[in-house]
A and B are shown apart, each in its own frame.
Chain A
Amino acid sequence: MPRLRSSARSSWLGCALAVATVAAAEEPGKWLERMNEALTTRNYDGTFSHWQGGKVEMLRIIHRVQDGAVAERLVSLDGSGREFVRTGSDLACYLPDKRTVLVERRPAEESLFGGFPAMNEETARFYDVKEVARTRLNRRDTHVIAVSPKDEFRYGYRLWIDDSTAMPLKTQLCDGRGHVIEQIVFANLTLSSHIPDSDLKPEVSTEGFQWLRNESLAPKGSPTSASLVWNALKLPPGFKMTARSAQTMPGSTAPVDHLVFTDGFASVSVFVEAQPQAAADQPPVSESARVGSSSAFSTVIDGHKVTAVGEVPPATVRYIANSVKAQGSEPLLDPRHPR
């Protein structure tokens, strides 16, 4: 019996430890949820530096939620004076250096400043989320939360989250070795109950500017090819296809197949379009590119150009693009309504 009790006690202790471990593991995830909520529901006005590739840009973000309507303004404080202003589904880009204003309709729920995906069991398989430190930043107490990838197919994050407001005062995007590849740091941040309309108006005078509007990027229902349905035969662990569509890109009349893959945190889009005959006669080549901290890779498969783009390491977009193949017919889905 003592052995039984001992065994039972061990079992109970094991369960208790497991519960404690889960609770401890949830705590950093809770901070991510609080941060996400703060970013999307609070009014704030802040100035931050954006570092990437050895270059720093100062920007100002103003975010207002009023009567359920989100309005945002992102302003470059260096050089060009460019601004993004979003009101509802309209995103206006003011380019004083080009004397042009561009207006595009975007999903209303998008945020220019954004939040962070919620942690769940699925994402926990591929990322470790830990609170690695409590420190002071900008004279504020912060929790430093590290989101570390468990393999080389994704990037990690470090976030300095304000203890009292849950706003991220500093974020870093890190590669698999922990090296910082992109960083945002607030120099000042004000959370207020009211942000006047005047703060959301662009400072630039648009007199004499050219206005260009684009209503596209909405997915079209028609497939690019009646007989070809594209899919990735192999994916990095944890990635799943969550959307598929055909859409027409601005400035083009030919529809492009758009596949979206995600592991819950990171996402990769794959675009497939038929090659013009002249290009198809050339030997197939592959190319890689960096877009900010995102990666792009393009190759040719079965006479179609396949391009993968995503906020993942270069090897991941290359892996996914190279695994894309045409398969049997399948109904197309709207990417904005994942299966």
Chain B
Amino acid sequence: MNEELDSQLSAMFDDELPSAECELLARRLSRDEPLKARWGRYAVIGAAVRAERGVRLNARLAGRVSAVLSTEPALAGTAMAQRSGPFAKWWQPVIGAAMAAGVAAAAVLWLRSQVLPEPGPLITQAGAPATAAASPASTAEPDSYVVPQTPERRVVVPSTELANYVVAHSEFSSPVARRNLLSAFMASESGTAGTPAGSDEPVEDAQDNAKTTQ
């Protein structure tokens, strides 16, 4: 691997690579097996070893790029789009301008959008125990490794543009879907409402506390 590519990988880890180059490198990663392998090593065992060469590990970015690698080439730009694409504004808080645009635009005040969970972890060689490969003390290149999945879901405020689209669409969605959407709009931003910590499933009803009358 030449130094230029290595440098680009390093810059990508640092989230400092220009968007156009990120796009190209992500596409190349999707089809260049040696480069893909190098990326994986950065992500998993590189923290300690590569730091000596000035490469810093950015786990979130590693996860995002691993997602690029596991999706079809046509979507290769997705991972980078959050910070560099022409739609990057989707992920940035846009509140001030929303107010003047009316109800639909102001949906941005309530609408919470979640970046889709990343696809499964990149497994470059099947059957490899991740823990064995992930030891930072090892300087030998492992036979196999697994790029850990980024578990984080980034909750962001979408732009007025997306809010407008969603509201415009709601006029044609089923009544149940529309109701759900409005309920989601109503969800408070204060964080006072929520399931118990760690709960990821809907809580069953406390039937004794409920009533239905006619």
A122 → chain B closest CB, angstroms? 14
Interface residue B31 (Cβ < 8 Å from any Cβ of A): no
Q: Of B32-40, B120-128, B137-145, B188-196, which stretch is located at the interface?
A: B188-196
The residue of chain A having its C-beta at the shortest distance from the C-beta of B179 within the complex is A114
In this assembly, does A307 line the interface, its C-beta being within 8 Å of a C-beta of chain B?
Answer: yes
Contact call B183/A309, Cβ cutoff below 8 A: no
A38-70 with Cβ < 8 A to chain B: 39, 50-59
Q: Are A54 and B213 neighbours in the complex by a CB distance under 8 Å?
A: no
CA distance in complex: A271, B110 (Å): 22
B174, A267: Cβ atoms under 8 Å?
Answer: yes
Residue of A nearest to B198 (CB): A54
Is A282 interfacial (CB 8 A cutoff)? yes
Q: Tell yes or no: B51 within 8 A of A by CB.
A: no
The answer, yes or no, to whether A124 is at the interface (CB within 8 Å) is no
Residue pair B190, A84 in contact (C-beta under 8 Å): no
The answer on a CB contact under 8 Å between A271 and B177 is: no
Cα-based distance from A294 to B180 in the complex (angstroms): 9
Which residue of the partner chain, among A54, A265, A288, contacts B195 with CB atoms under 8 Å?
Answer: A54
| Given contacts A55-B193, A291-B166, A314 and B116 within 8 Å (CB-CB) | yes
Given A102-B103, A180-B202, A309-B169, residue A251 in contact with residue B183 (CB < 8 A): no
Using a Cβ–Cβ cut-off of 8 Å, how many residues does chain A contribute to the interface with B? 115
Contact present for A54 and B199 (CB under 8 Å): yes
Q: Pick from A5-13, A162-170, A201-209 the stretch touching chain B.
A: A162-170
Determine which residue in A58, A107, A185, A311 has the highest number of CB atoms from chain B within 10 A of its CB, and name it: A311
| Nearest chain B residue, comparing its CB with the CB of A322 | B74
Query: Which residues on B sit within 8 Å (CB–CB) of A336?
Result: 171
Taking a contact as CB atoms under 8 Å apart, the answer to whether A191 and B214 are in contact is: yes
Task: Assess whether B134 is interfacial by the CB under 8 Å rule.
Answer: no
Q: Cβ of A110 < 8 Å from any Cβ of B?
A: yes
Binary interface encoding of chain A residues 69-86 relative to chain B, with 1 for a CB under 8 A from any of its CBs, else 0: 000001010111010100
Q: In the complex where A59-B183, A110-B178 touch, is A291 in contact with B158 (Cβ < 8 A)?
A: yes
Interface: B132 (CB within 8 A): no
In the assembled complex, the CB of B201 is this many whole angstroms from the nearest CB of chain A, namely 7
A95 within 8 A of B: yes
- Establish whether residues A55 and B116, one from each chain, have CB atoms under 8 Å apart when the complex forms: no
Residues of A within 8 A of B86 (CB): 275, 279, 282, 285, 300, 305
Contact flags B181-214 to A (C-beta < 8 A → 1, else 0): 1111111111111110001111101010111111
Bound Cα distance from A199 to B65, whole angstroms:
52
Roughly how many angstroms separate A59 CA and B185 CA in the complex, as a whole number? 11
Shortest distance between the CB of A325 and any CB in chain B (Å): 14
Contact in complex: A116, B187 (CB < 8 Å): no
Residues of B near A290 (CB, < 8 A) are 113-116
Distance between Cα atoms of A104 and B84 in the complex (Å): 34
Q: Which of A114, A183, A291 contacts B176 (CB 8 A)?
A: A114
Verify if A194 is at the interface (C-beta below 8 Å from B): no
Beta-carbon nearest neighbor of A172 in chain B: B202
Interface residues of A in 90-133 (CB under 8 A from B): 91, 93, 95, 97-98, 100, 102-104, 106-107, 110-117
Q: Is the CB of B186 within 8 A of A76?
A: yes
- Whether A87 is near chain B, meaning CB under 8 Å from some CB there, is no
Partner of B187, one of A55, A95, A180, A318: A55
Contact between chains at B174 and A249 (CB < 8 Å): no
Which residues of chain A (239-291) have a CB below 8 Å from chain B? 242-243, 247, 249-252, 258, 260, 262, 265-269, 271, 275, 279, 282-291
Is the C-beta of A182 less than 8 angstroms from some C-beta in chain B?
A: yes
Cβ–Cβ contact B172 & A269, under 8 A: yes
Give Cα A267–Cα B211 distance, bound, in whole angstroms. 34
Contact B209 A187 (CB under 8 A): yes
Interface contact B102-A79, CB-CB below 8 Å: no
Q: Is A216 an interface residue (CB 8 A)?
A: yes
A79 touches B188 (CB 8 A): yes
> Which residue numbers of A lie inside 8 Å of B, CB to CB?
36, 39, 50-59, 74, 76, 78-80, 82, 84, 91, 93, 95, 97-98, 100, 102-104, 106-107, 110-117, 136-140, 157, 162, 164-165, 167, 169-173, 180, 182-192, 210, 212-214, 216-217, 242-243, 247, 249-252, 258, 260, 262, 265-269, 271, 275, 279, 282-294, 296, 298, 300, 305, 307, 309-311, 314, 318, 322, 335-336
10 contacts between A and B (CB under 8 A): A59-B186, A79-B193, A111-B175, A189-B213, A250-B101, A251-B160, A285-B80, A291-B184, A292-B181, A296-B166
> Given known contacts A39-B175, A80-B188, A111-B178, what 19 new A-B pairs fall within 8 Å (CB)?
A50-B186, A51-B195, A57-B187, A79-B192, A84-B186, A95-B106, A139-B212, A171-B176, A183-B202, A190-B212, A212-B100, A212-B103, A251-B105, A269-B169, A285-B84, A285-B87, A290-B114, A294-B177, A296-B162
